[in-house]
Homo-oligomer: A and B are copies of this chain.
Amino acid sequence: MDLLSGLRSILPDDRISTGGEEIERHSGAIFTYHASRPPDAVVYPESREEVAEVLRFANERGVPVVPFGEGSSLEAHTIPIRGGISVDLGRMDGILEVRPEDFVARVQPGVTHGGLNAALAEHGLFFPVDPGWDASIGGMAGTNASGTNAVRYGAMRDQVLGLEVVLADGTVMRTGGMVMKSSAGYHLTGLFVGSEGTLGVFTEIVLRLYPVPEHILAARAVFPDIEAAGRAAGAVIQTGMQVGRVELVDARTVGAVNVLKGTDYAIAPTLFLEFSGSEAGVGHDVEAARAIAEAHGCERFEFEADEAAREKLWEARHEAGLAIRDLNPDKKPMTTDVCVPLSDLPGALRHARETIEAAGFDGAILGHVGDGNYHAVFPVDPDDATELERAEAVNGEIVDHALACGGTCTGEHGIGSGKIGSLEKEHGDSLPFMRGIKRLADPNGIMNPGKIFEE
Contact = CB atoms under 8 A, between A and B. Distances in A.
Interface of A: 99, 101-104, 143-146, 150, 154-155, 157-158, 167, 172-175, 177-188, 190-191, 193-195, 199, 210-214, 234, 237-242, 277-281, 283-285, 288, 337, 339-344, 371-373, 406-415, 419, 422-423, 426-427, 429-431, 433-434, 436-437, 440-441, 452
Q: Which of A281, A372, A410 has the most CB of B within 10 A?
A: A281
Given A284-B278, A406-B178, A342 B102 contact: yes
The 6 closest A-B CB pairs, nearest first, are A281-B281, A211-B240, A190-B190, A182-B408, A101-B343, A178-B406
Please give the count of copies of this chain that the complex contains: 2
25 contacts: A101-B238, A102-B344, A144-B181, A155-B181, A173-B429, A174-B429, A175-B430, A178-B341, A179-B407, A181-B339, A181-B373, A181-B412, A182-B410, A183-B412, A184-B408, A186-B434, A190-B190, A214-B240, A241-B278, A242-B242, A280-B280, A280-B283, A281-B281, A281-B284, A437-B437
B150 A181 contact: yes
Given A195-B186, A238-B211, A240-B213, A180 B434 contact: no
A191 B191 contact: yes
A150 to B, nearest CB: 6
Given A102-B342, A173-B430, A211 B183 contact: no
Contact of A184 (B150, B410, B429): B410
Q: Which of A155, A277, A434, A452 has the most CB atoms of chain B within a 10 A radius of its CB? A: A277
Contacts of A185: 194, 415, 423, 426-427, 430-431, 434, 452
Given A181-B412, A240-B210, A242-B277, A186 B437 contact: yes
Contacts of A238: 101, 211
Contact of A102 (B187, B242, B285, B341): B341
Contacts of A180: 339, 342, 371-373
Given A186-B437, A210-B240, A178 B407 contact: yes
B433 A440 contact: yes
B415 A183 contact: yes
A9 to B, nearest CB: 26
B173 A433 contact: yes
